[in-house]
Chain A
């Protein structure tokens, strides 16, 4: 039975101060992105192509008039790029969006994101940090490299399930367990027996962190990327209990780019927790 006040699980309802805060976060972010030369885009809620990069069972599906499968967008990046390159046919390369994505069965996720075709990850990472600082969010950056995970999977050194569950007890190699523990730049150099094939990627990751002057970041070499289209270094910025933002370099078809998404809902939850804690401390 559905009651008068019910909303589907995963639905978002922001009222009063929280809705105002959400608007403020979005406005501040938009202002910074516009100042940095990004142009706003609003993409359709409906898409034919989401299943190419997201598992079908995670998407909300139905049919169009010709009985073709349509989904609610589960991710903005690849629809945005596809539309910019194939439909708008514009050479403009810096885009941002402020809109929700949807996941099966009834999850709504508000995002603020930026995509930079042919851009450099360093630039969008700095921009991501700048926005978070501006909206008063402090998280811990966590860095990974898709090629490290890809190589381990291709060589069948570890299975996706073992990585997803971080089954240290199933890792057959001592160097692999050590790799799971690497958290700082250069630590991997001390690992005995580390396959040489991984070294260029580890060096690239270290260099990215050093170039960006990150001192409070951590490395997570066995982190699975959230999307299939990531190609190299990717990162997430984590709070006490949730993820505030994700970003990385990617290739979708022939299109190469870099981008990030900020998770507005988790930032609002984080701020609510902070307020709760500071009230408790005052008492």
Chain B
């Protein structure tokens, strides 16, 4: 069984499902709602054993029958329990996360990606953590400053023109791109904030699945397309070791190549959305083969 998990059906998940079915793999695609309301689960853990059985409709799936997993589901939100009180829904979300972290950790098959303590879909680091790790692995990074107010951030904005901006007072801080014209509204923010430099240069995305690289650029319509670009060995080595430390089997890394041909790392995502557009079926077939252990690593 090839298992696909997503919060809700996504383009990426659907393509993966199609690729798996074209290979005649027994595949199950579950959404958050189906996981929460449509499964019967029996999980066992002892000193010497760990296994589970899940029943979905007429399908009975044993942990040992699962030979590959794609998990795009980070966590469960309380909204999945609309009939519960706020407190009960929050409890249910935490309990379900705790269970699925254990279920996924129980599996011995290859996972894209392995669950991490912070999300079921693999490590998701903060911007400073990501940049710090990239630096540790030999990549050049932009400047990212955490500072005491929006007013302090607006001074930097005046100097740089465009920045990535995060108001750290929000419950789920969002990364926004701000321009000089936003300076007035940013100045009013009393909270600590984070700003990150956006460098000029050509945008390049490198998806790394196992040990294979898929490189894409952007055309004049900002649409991703495959590019034939030699990745400097230093970048290859850095990405590979960073992916290892992140315990990811699949991720897409973003770089800017500056006018003096310097590669500047700016972030990563666990779903290779640019490679998906640029490479289509080639990527999905490779991912499925890799997940089930058929791709040459």
Question: Do these two chains interact?
Answer: no
List A residues at the B interface (Cβ < 8 Å): none
